């Protein structure tokens, strides 16, 4: 299996896409989380959802050693795709950090990066010092319920818990031990999205992503908590497309020199 097929899931391949929207899952998440997004995209935008190792059809593979190695794998996969189609990277929570590392590798001439969209995550220099990955199983599992991304029926299913806990712990470990490299601002624009009631990131922490780009920056706040994107999926996709695909200039505010 080549790198693209290993790392990327594309529910609706296009022959000549004008844009590729590449989506990075949250801790404990997988590529299937983004499959419904395909129905909200125009006919010339191709969706690629990242599948991290150690889950779903990659269950037999070891978990990633660290966050930069995840980014390296995704970037290799994107470079294996045909053509020179521009890409927009979107990541939620843990996925925002992985997407940022991937953006750093794709930024600049020939990289194809049109924009980075981060969601539900403080800027790298505003990350909170947490140690959830060191907690006992019950505490770690309760964290999943607290954030609201998993239904009660799933949380109460022992079989699901047994399978999901190792994935969740591995993802929290790489998120909480990530030490970003000294910032070199991206050339590409950055859009930060946050839920108004998100306990994991404030608007101020999300707004600090402005320091990570020399291009345009915008902050968009949605109603809801950490998983606001479950309820406001269509509105979020529209916001991303307006900012990066259909009419990018009017929707961005200036940031930086």
* pLDDT, position 150: 56
Handedness of CA 52, 26, 8, 161 (dihedral sign): positive
> In the prediction, which pLDDT does 160 show?
72
Active site residue 119: no
What mean pLDDT is reported for the chain?
89
Structural contact between residues 111 and 138, judged by C-beta atoms closer than 8 angstroms: no
Give me the long-range contacts of 234-241 (CB less than 8 A, separation at least 24): 234/40, 236/119, 236/193, 237/37, 237/40, 237/41, 238/40, 239/191, 239/193, 240/21, 240/88, 240/90, 240/117, 240/191, 241/41, 241/42, 241/45
pLDDT of res. 246: 53
Retrieve residue 120's tokens. Answer: 């539900």
**What are 163-204's pLDDT values in tens digits?**
889 999 999 999 999 998 887 899 999 999 999 999 999 999
Q: Distances in Å between the alpha carbon of 139 and those of 81, 135, 156, 193?
A: 40, 6, 14, 28
The 10s digit of each residue's pLDDT in 101-151 is 999 999 988 889 999 999 999 999 999 998 889 888 888 888 776 666 554
| Predicted confidence (pLDDT) at residue 16 exceeds the cutoff of 70 | yes
Give me the catalytic one of 93, 97, 119, 253: 93
Contact (CB, 8 A) for 188 and 88:
no
Sort strands 19-24 and 87-92 into parallel, antiparallel or unpaired.
Answer: parallel
């Amino acid at each position: 299996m080549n790198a693209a097929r290993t790392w990327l899931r594309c529910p609706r391949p296009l022959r000549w896409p004008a844009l590729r929207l590449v989506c990075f899952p949250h801790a404990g998440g997988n590529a299937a989380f983004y499959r419904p997004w395909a129905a909200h995209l125009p006919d010339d935008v191709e969706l690629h959802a990242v599948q991290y190792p150690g889950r779903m059809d990659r269950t037999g593979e070891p978990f990633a050693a660290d966050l930069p190695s995840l980014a390296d794998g995704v970037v290799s996969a994107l470079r294996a795709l045909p053509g020179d189609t521009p890409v927009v990277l979107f990541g939620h929570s843990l996925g925002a950090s992985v997407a940022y590392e991937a953006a750093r590798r794709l930024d600049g001439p020939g990289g194809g990066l049109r924009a980075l969209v981060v969601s539900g995550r403080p800027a790298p220099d505003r990350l909170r010092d947490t140690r959830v990955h060191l907690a006992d199983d019950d505490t770690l599992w309760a964290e999943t319920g607290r954030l609201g991304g998993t239904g009660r029926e799933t949380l109460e299913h022992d079989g699901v818990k047994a399978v999901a806990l190792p994935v969740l712990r591995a993802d929290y470990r790489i998120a909480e031990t990530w030490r970003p490299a000294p910032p070199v601002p991206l050339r590409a624009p950055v859009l930060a999205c946050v839920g108004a009631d998100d306990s994991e990131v404030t608007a101020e922490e999300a707004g600090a992503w402005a320091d990570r780009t020399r291009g345009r920056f915008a902050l968009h706040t949605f109603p809801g908590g950490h998983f606001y994107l479950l309820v406001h999926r269509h509105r979020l996709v529209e916001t991303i497309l307006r900012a990066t695909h259909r009419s990018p200039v009017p929707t961005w505010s200036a940031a930086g020199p």
